[in-house]
Amino acid sequence: MTWQDAARAPGSTSSGLFDGEFSWGLVLLGVVALIALLLVCSLGFIARIRDRAVERQDRAATGRLLDPPT
């Protein structure tokens, strides 16, 4: 008995997704994982760019406050 057989609930059947042979389900899972990874990385990159823009605006506003009027 393998661990897969032991983990399977009584009366359940195998989906065939991870049976060791080529499967379109496995390809689909890989594509979805890649898209999720790209989405998370790009959102982090966008958040960092926006954070830097806010920091630049903050520094510019602080500089205006510290400069004496002429």
pLDDT recorded at residue 64: 73
Q: H or E stretch including 56?
A: helix 24-66
Q: Domain containing 29: what range?
A: 22-64
Three-state DSSP class for residue 13: coil
pLDDT of residue 17: 59
The total of structural domains in the chain comes to 1
Residues 6+ apart with CB under 8 A from 6: none
Tell me, what's the pLDDT at 46? Answer: 95
Mean pLDDT by 10 residues, the chain (70 residues): 64 64 82 96 94 89 69
Q: Give the C-alpha separation, 56 to 58, whole Å.
A: 5
Residue 33 lies in a domain: yes
Rounded CA separation 28/11 (Å): 27
Check residue 19 and report its DSSP letter: S
Query: What is the pTM assigned to this prediction?
Result: 0.52
- Residue 56 covered by a domain: yes
Q: Is residue 27 part of a domain?
A: yes
Residue 48: inside a domain, yes or no?
A: yes
Q: Look at residues 56, 35, 8, 59 and name the one whose alpha carbon lies nearest to residue 18.
A: 8
Q: Is residue 5 part of a domain?
A: no
